[in-house]
Every structure is written in structure tokens, then in C-alpha cells.
Structure 1
Amino acid sequence: KAPRRGSDRIHSSVNRPDSKPARSLPLFFKKQLRRYRVKRESEKSWSYQAESEIEKTEIKMAIPETERHRGRARPAVVARVPLRRLLRVASVACGIQFGWALQLSLLTPYVQELGIPHAWASVIWLCGPLSGLLVQPLVGHMSDRCTSRFGRRRPFIFSGAVLIAFSVLIIGHSADIGWFLGDRGNVRPRAVGAFVFGFWILDVANNMTQGPCRALLADLTGKDHRRTRVANAYFSLFMAVGNVLGFATGSYNGWFKIFPFTYTSACNANCANLKSAFFIDIVFIAITTYISIAAAQEVPLVSSDRSTPIVEDGPGTSGHAEEAFLWELFGTIRYFSGPIWVILLVTALTWIGWFPFLLFDTDWMGREIYGGEPNQGPNYSTGVRMGALGLMLNSVVLGITSVLMEKLCRKWGAGFIWGISNILMALCFIAMLVLTFVAKSVHTEGHALPPDGIVITALLIFAILGLPLAITYSVPYALISTRIESLGLGQGLSMGVLNLAIVIPQVVVSLGSGPWDQLFGGGNSPAFAVAALAAFASGLTAILAIPRSGPQKPRGLT
């Protein structure tokens, strides 16, 4: 029998019947062509993956060469953190927000009692946005690289809490410091100087603490987007609790009787109440900070170089580290995708809306609703305390909304909920403008105090504003933390990037709101009108531009 040809051997290996050589030759070439095509497809797939890796590498090349090739610290793998522990970690927000509530409700009226005109009171708040512009991104960058045995975030949280306690002591004793240095008149420049110094330290400390707190929650939840939203909702809930306690403390006018040593020749009853409230704040921030850092059990970064300092900088002086930070921050901004820019834009417009309210809420109640002026009768002080009560109601609604937020976002989408809440905020600001007009018409008729209907309406507006405020405190952070991971940024630096979209509008409002109000005859109405427009624009942008995800089925969380 004649030997088989090569093509026949191929067919026999696959159990094909013998065929004529003239017909088997094309089948052989077809099979070889098929193999060639499979090989080419695999090469294309490999090439696509390689290009994807090159793109990721190009993003990282925004960091200087000396920083990229050093022995960088690597985060250790941590186990899934139970929600009850996340709840305890988020509790530090309660202590931070307690002091922030006192700051919001009492310090704008207090600095006017020290002699600062209303038109310039907002400039005092400029130090907060300016410190946040640099401090929070820099602290986030440093905490991403911190190799302390206590963890990456906890050293910064503890240091910030200590600075908060130090700063509120200075603010509470600013009148006494001014008296000691020679202040005797109605305008007390030395007391104002001490106040501004303490205020600046307080804002630095708030930014130094809050960013690492949120970054710590993002670290503990990993890439689970739903758990990240839940953790931020916990944070927002504790902010609401801190607000309730802080505003309730600020609305009570008898603290100087409980702490009689706070009442001095330089410090009247309002000043003594402020000083006493800050003593309570120190105790509160100490307790909540301990609970949070004890529950975190943060795993330190694993450094490849044992001689690496606690915060890994580039070789040389701290200037190199600062340069690396700026390169990494601004170098990665150009790689932001469209949804990230939309989130930053909506955040900026949202805070143009919020900041006039946060600056002048109690001042609006004292001036426009009660018709008072600082240091000119009891109406203004009564209005300020009533405004603090309204802010307490605001915080109650904020807390309830924080509990329901996860279900709302899961059903309707986070962007849609954010947009609707901002439109509601705009409607509330418009209602405040209408109520201002009504209250002024009542005061012109000679009434000493406003009717109960006007006061109740003002308190109701304050309470309703708690709903959009809860969304503002939670949803943007969850959205940015889940979308910025692809850029290779640490959670600390990602929170710093979002913070830029918050503090830059605050700088604009701080510089412009006082002169803007003065241009239209004083008062707070012009700033609230701008706030309403910005809030409405941010709401429409969020609804139309932030992609909506479909309804998600609830999953078990432990």
C-alpha cells in the first residue's frame, strides 16, 4: 500500500475520512489560515492591554521621576471591616461638627460685637477656605504616604483634634487677651487679632482632621461602592448629631451661670457663654477622637525601606515633597474624565449656594427677622439664639435624611437625588428673601418683636434645609471616591481634590458677599439671592449631566 501524504495524516488525526489529495490541499491551507487569524487576534488583544497599561503609566508619570522610583510604601491588605466598626470610626465627625456648629452659630455675631463691621465680617471667614485650599490636599497627600506604626490617617486625626482644642481656647479667651493687652473701647483690635489667630488655627485643624477621617473610611471600605456610600452616610449622621448638640449648646444662654469663672470684666454674658461652650467642645472632641482612633485598628503601610521617615518625602528637603505633591495634584487633573469634572462643577456651585447661609444664618435671624443690631439692645442676641435653635432643627432633619440616603440613592441614583436636593435648597433661599421682605414691613409698623408666624416660618425653612445639607455632606464624597480610583490617586489626595471645588467658591463668597451686600444697602438678602441662583444651576447640572445608574437590589451588609 502506498504511504499516506502529509495532508492525509492531518485529516486522519482528526478522524476525517480519506479524501483525494487535490481536495485535501485547500483544507490544509484553510486550517493554517484559521490558526494564523487566531494568532493575530491574540496579538491584537495583547497589544490593546499593553496600550491600556501604557495609559495608566502615563498618568502616573505626572509624578516626578525621583518620587516614582523610590521605595514607595504599600498599603497592607486588610480584612472586611464590619459596619459597626465603621460606625465607631465615623463618630469623630460628631466631635468635629460640635465645634463647627458653635463656630457657625456664634462666631459671626461675636466678631461683630468685638467691633468688626458687618460688611467685613465675611472676610474673617476667608482664612478657612484659604487654609482648606492648601492644608487638606497636602494633608491628604502626606497621609497617603505616612508609614507611622499608628497607621496612615490616625496620626493626623489626633494632631488635628489637639489643634482644635488649642484654637477654641484662644477664641474663647480673645476678649480677655485683648483686655490684657490694653483694649478698653467698643472696637477691640487686639481682641480681634487674637480671635483671627485662633480662628485660623481652628480652620487649619478642621481641614487637617476631616479629610483624613473621610479617607480612613474610604480605606476601610475598599472598592465596595455601596459600603463607601454607607460609611459616608454614617459620617453625615454623626455630623448631624454633632450639629444638634452644638447648636443646642449655642442656643442656651445660661452657661456662664454653670461656669461662673468665665464671666470677667472683659467678657460679658454672651462672651462667657461662648467660652463655656468651647470648654464643653474640648471634652467632646477628646471623647469622640478616642472612640474613633481606637476602633479604626488601621494597618500601617509596608515600607520597602526601613530607614524611610514617618511621612515619605522625596530625597532632600521638605520642599521636594511639596513640589512632588503639587506635581501629583495638578499633573493628574488633566486626566480627569468628564463625569469627574461634572462632579467638581456641581460641588462648586453647591457651595456658592451654601456658604452665604452658613456665614449669615444666625445673623440673618437677628437682623432681618428680629430687626436688631449687634451691641444695640436684646433683639439681636435673641434672634441669634433663635437662629441657633433653627440650626438645631436643621441638624435633626439632616440626621434623619442621612439614615434614608442609601435607599434614596439606590432607587433614584445619587446624581438625581443631589440635583433635586439642590433645587429644594434654591427654593428655601427664595423663601428666605420673601420672609425678609415681610419681616421688614412688620418692623416698619413699630412692632418690637416679630410675630410668631414669621419666626415659625423661619425655623421651618432652617429645618427643611437640613435635607439638602445631608446630601451635600455625603453624596459628593462618595461619588468622587469611587470615580477617581482609576487615576491611581490615594483616597487622601482624592478628598483634597474635591476640597478644592469646595474652598475656591468659599474664597469668592468670603471676599465678595460683604461688599456685595453693602452695594445693595446692607443686610444679607443680596448674598442669599446669588445663593439661590447658584443652587438652582447646580441642581439642573446634577440632574442632566451626572449619569444615572439603574435601581440596585439591596445586598447584605455586615
Structure 2
Amino acid sequence: MAATASNYQYQNNGQRQHLYNPQRSTAYIVILTLIVGALQLAWSTEFSEATPFLLSLGISKRVLSLVWLAGPLSGTIGQPIVGMLSDKCMLSYGKRRVFILIGCISTSVSLLALSHSSELVGLFTSPFDWDDRTTELAVICFACVGIYVLDFSIAIIQASSRALIVDVVPTGQQQIANAWAARMIGIFNLIGFWIGTLNLTELFPVLGDNQFKILSTLVSVPPQVKTVCYAQLFAWIGYFPLLFYTTSYVGELYLYEKGYPNPALIPPELKQDLLDQSTRVGTYALLSNSIVTLAVVTFLPMLLERIGTRSTFNEKLNLRTLWICSHVVFILCTLCTFFISSYKQAIALFAFTGIPWGGAVWIPFTLISEEISRIKDIIAIQIFYRQQSEGSSIAEDDAPEINSRNSIYCQKILIDFYDNIEYDSGILLALHNVFVSAPQMLSSFASSILFSIFHKAHDDNSYDSSLGWVFRFGGVMAIGAWYISRKVKTKEELYDMDRLMALSIDF
């Protein structure tokens, strides 16, 4: 049920929360968004190392595509639950912070357990004298469970940290805060993927021996948020292979150039070294992607901030325009896989995908955060207007100023409209994540089908092109994201729609 504007401060399960937040310093925003960056370190480890690691345990590509349902499921199920629970949390420590702490502990433990799957399973199976095949199956099952625990733990942090940014940063700084969050993602991606290119078994041999809405029916979602969510539905079908199969795609091209089109036919004495090297080469592609992503999320927000007051430029270069262009670049990159024949070409290609990925980690969150904050500002104006009309005493020092521009929101038609619009950040960001996670399940199933069609037999010594077809399928689906993202509204267009609604009462 949508939040109702009943007083200037709204009561949220015993906690009084201001609709307006004070201006935040840059240092405050940087520290706040460090949570998102640190979380990305865990993601980068999973993106670069988990697929080769699971394949090395004996999991087939078809089964692997189903294992990667963990991420979409954690987003579709876990994040909405965390969002709603944190919205209702009454702990004095803070309604988001306790969930972030729980998620951090769980993520750390699951990463350690996953990376030592064989050793941990061995401790429990050694007394039973199991044969090698049974032990291998036990290790695979343990690793699969570890992936699910890890992804659900990460989902807890992601839902809470994003909602925290919306909760504590004022409307005028939402774009800046989300830009810093995107920069943190880029910086920690660089760190994580750079670590992945190192030969860690030589540097740290002691550490190991391998490279490692339903909700939409319950709430009234703002139209702008709906549009972003629908675009994300198509975009993330394409992003899913980029996240989980890049390392393997580039690594297989590297092995192909070394004379081993089928990794299964590598001589045993060379296999581990070559597989480790192919994983490091594959991680270079993710590293190059992260460098471009960091450049995008560093300089483009600065550029938008500089031209923000120039209406002529702002009409042509804004978040909507950048998002549309990012989809076009992504579509072209995926279709270019038809022409990729070497691992160096693939690394260069995935560097270019850093452009759309930079948009993906910054623009949708900024659009939703700005819309939530915009609605909160409108609700605050309407509450203040009601209090003035009723002659109530107003104790707020930071009460909004009603002027000729925002006075339209005092019209009854707009008061009724926004009374039935949901603006709780936890719920809306959780809903958004459903539209991020659910398409990944579709992409995973589609990947499984494509692997079944194009995957080479175990003893076939020709190159396996199945991963290329998975990327191309993602690019075709991203056309839907490009089309829907053109329907996103700018701030002025949203205001004009509200003004027309207010004027319609006169006709």
C-alpha cells in the first residue's frame, strides 16, 4: 500500500524520518559508497574465477548455466525480502546497517568455504572411504550450494547499501552519490580483476593451489521507475553472459591459439598450468572492461554536472541519451563476436563493453534514486501545504518553499495522485532488482539451450563456438532495452506531465 502524506515527517515503524535530508559533504558520500565498492570486490572475484573454478571441478557448461541461476534467484527472492524487512526494521543501530553487517559476515564465510570446497568435503568424506567419483559429486554439490549462499549474502548487502544511499542523501545530490557508487564499483573492479591476473599460487602458495513483482501487484510504482524496470528486463538478458562467461570465452580462444581447441584434450601434465594461464588471460578482458567502466563513471557524471545548467546541451546530453547510446554500443559489441578469432581481439572487444557496463552500474540507479527523491520532495510540499491550510503549527526549520513552479503540486488531483504512489526506497529498489535478476534466469535457461545446440562433444577437437552464440543472443535481446529506454523522461518532461495533469482539472 502506498505511503500516505499525513504529516511533514512520516512515521516508519516507530522511526521518524525526514523527507528532506541535509546537504552531504563529498567525504560523507565517498565513505557511504565505499560499501558498494567493497561489495564489488566479492562480485569481481565471482565473475572472473567462479566459472573456470566450477568447470575445473567437472561441471558441464549446460549444468553451469543452471548453477548461475543463484544470482537471479537471490535478486528476485532475496533482495525484495531484505528491502521490505529493512523498511520495517526498528533497531536503533539503523534499519539498513544491521543487514549490511549480516551480509558482510556471510559473504566472507561463503567465499572462504567455496574456495576450499575440495578440502572441506575431504574432511567429512575421508572417514567413509568414498570412491573418487562420489567424492567429486560431493565437491560439486558443496560448491553449488556455496555459490547460492554467496549470492544470497551479496544480495543482502546490495539491497541495503543502495537503499541507504537513497535514504540519507538529498535529492540534489542523488546523481552525485550514484556517480560515486559507480566509481567505487569501477575502482574495486579494477582491484579485483587485477588481482585475478596475478599468479597467486606463486605469490601466496600458502593460501591454496588454484586460481580462484509480485511486488508490482502490491504497490503503485511511479511510471518512471516502471519504464526503467522494463528496460532493465531486456538489458540484463544481455549482461548476464558478459558477467559470467567472459573469462571462459577469452580463455578458450587463448587455448585455441595454443593448439588446444578442446580443453578436455590437453595433456594431463600441461593441463593445470594452461588452464590457470587461460583464466588469467580471460581476467585481463575483465580488467580492461573495468578500466573503461571506471573512465565512463568518472568523467561522464562530471560532464553532466558541468552542463546541467545549460538547457540547450542538457536537452541533447542527459542520462536518457547516454543510456540509449550505451545499449547501442552493447548490441554492436555482441554482434562483433562473429568476427573475433583471437584472444587479443576478444580482450579489445570486452574493453569496449566497459562503455555500456559503465552506464548499467550508474544510470538506472540514478534515474530511480532521483525519481524517489523527487516524489519525496513533492510529498513534503503537499504536507506543508496541508498544514498551512489547516492552520497547524509548523516546527520544521527546513520546511519547503512553495513558489510559482511547485505550487501545482498543491492541486487536489496531484495530491490524490501522489498519495497513491509508492516512494519507499527499500521496496522500489527491491522491485528494480527483480527486473534485474529475473531476466538473468531467462538468460541462463537460454544459455543452456544454446550450449545444447552448439556445444562440441567431449572428444571433438574443433573449436567450441557456443559461448559466442550466447553473447549474440544477449545482444539481440538488448534491442528491447534500447527501444524502451527511449521512453524514459527527463526531469523537465516529468514536471510538464504533472503540470498538464494539474491543468486538466480546468477542462
Please tell me the TM-score bracket, short chain as reference.
0.7 to 0.9
Q: Which amino acid aligns with 2:488?
A: I
Q: Which amino acid aligns with 1:429?
A: T
Compute the displacement of 1:161 (Å): 0.5
Any conservation in 2 of the 1:132–1:207 contact (CA below 8 Å)? yes
Larger Rg: 1
Any conservation in 1 of the 2:337–2:472 contact (CA below 8 Å)? no
Q: Does residue 1:257 correspond to 2:202, yes or no?
A: yes
Compute the displacement of 1:197 (Å): 1.7
Any conservation in 2 of the 1:243–1:395 contact (CA below 8 Å)? yes
Q: Does residue 1:428 correspond to 2:333, yes or no?
A: yes
Q: 1:337 to 1:456 in 2, by over 3 A?
A: same
2:151 aligned to which of 198, 203, 207: 203
1:506 aligned to which of 422, 440, 444: 440
* Runs of at least 5 residues in structure 1 that lack an aligned partner in the other structure: 1-57, 62-67, 264-268, 275-325, 440-453, 552-558
Compute the displacement of 1:72 (Å): 4.6
TM-score, structure 1 normalization: 0.68
Aligned-partner Cα distance in 1 for 2:290–2:12: 46
Any conservation in 2 of the 1:130–1:507 contact (CA below 8 Å)? yes
Counterpart for residue 496 of structure 2: none
1:531 aligned to which of 461, 465, 474: 474
Counterpart for residue 226 of structure 2: 341
Compute the displacement of 1:340 (Å): 2.9
Counterpart for residue 239 of structure 1: 185
Q: 1:23-64 deviations in whole A, cap 9, x for unaligned?
A: xxxxxxxxxxxxxxxxxxxxxxxxxxxxxxxxxxx8459xxx
Q: Which amino acid aligns with 1:513?
A: S
Aligned-partner Cα distance in 2 for 1:341–1:428: 27
Q: 1:71 to 1:196 in 2, by over 3 A?
A: closer
Any conservation in 1 of the 2:237–2:474 contact (CA below 8 Å)? yes
1:475 aligned to which of 363, 369, 377: 363
Query: Match of 2:17, SS?
Result: coil
Q: Does residue 1:461 correspond to 2:349, yes or no?
A: yes
Compute the displacement of 1:329 (Å): 5.4
Q: Which amino acid aligns with 2:35?
A: V
Q: Does residue 1:361 correspond to 2:246, yes or no?
A: yes
Any conservation in 1 of the 2:71–2:148 contact (CA below 8 Å)? yes
1:494 aligned to which of 415, 428, 438: 428
Q: Which amino acid aligns with 2:58?
A: G
Matches within 5 A, 1:137-536: 137-180=80-123, 181=125, 182=130, 184-185=132-133, 188-224=136-172, 227-253=173-199, 255-263=200-208, 269-270=209-210, 273-274=211-212, 330-332=217-219, 335-371=220-256, 372=260, 373-374=262-263, 376=266, 377=271, 378-409=273-304, 410=308, 411=314, 412-435=317-340, 439=341, 454-484=342-372, 485=375, 486=418, 487-522=421-456, 523-536=466-479
Q: 1:432 to 1:492 in 2, by over 3 A?
A: same
TM-score, structure 2 normalization: 0.75
Counterpart for residue 547 of structure 1: 489
Compute the displacement of 1:407 (Å): 4.1
The number of equivalent residue pairs is: 407
Query: Match of 2:362, SS?
Result: helix
Counterpart for residue 311 of structure 2: none
Any conservation in 2 of the 1:408–1:417 contact (CA below 8 Å)? no
Compute the displacement of 1:162 (Å): 0.4
Counterpart for residue 24 of structure 2: 81
Q: Does residue 1:123 correspond to 2:28, yes or no?
A: no
Q: Which amino acid aligns with 2:434?
A: L
Q: Which amino acid aligns with 2:196?
A: G
Aligned-partner Cα distance in 1 for 2:289–2:206: 32
Counterpart for residue 459 of structure 2: none
Query: Match of 2:296, SS?
Result: helix
Compute the displacement of 1:126 (Å): 0.8
Matches within 5 A, 1:95-106: 95-106=38-49
Aligned-partner Cα distance in 1 for 2:490–2:215: 30
Q: Which amino acid aligns with 1:207?
A: A
Q: 1:280-317 deviations in whole A, cap 9, x for unaligned?
A: xxxxxxxxxxxxxxxxxxxxxxxxxxxxxxxxxxxxxx
Query: Match of 1:74, SS?
Result: strand
Aligned-partner Cα distance in 2 for 1:408–1:214: 23
Aligned-partner Cα distance in 2 for 1:187–1:514: 25
Matches within 5 A, 1:24-35: none
Any conservation in 1 of the 2:222–2:422 contact (CA below 8 Å)? no
Q: 1:327 to 1:184 in 2, by over 3 A?
A: closer
Q: 1:226-275 deviations in whole A, cap 9, x for unaligned?
A: x111111111111111111111111212x233433334xxxxx32xx42x
Compute the displacement of 1:85 (Å): 0.8
Q: Which amino acid aligns with 1:256?
A: T
Any conservation in 2 of the 1:366–1:381 contact (CA below 8 Å)? no
Compute the displacement of 1:185 (Å): 4.6
Aligned-partner Cα distance in 1 for 2:371–2:437: 21
Query: Match of 2:27, SS?
Result: helix
Compute the displacement of 1:105 (Å): 0.7
Compute the displacement of 1:138 (Å): 1.2
Instruction: Give the CA RMSD over aligned residues.
Output: 2.6
Aligned-partner Cα distance in 1 for 2:263–2:21: 54
Q: Which amino acid aligns with 1:211?
A: A
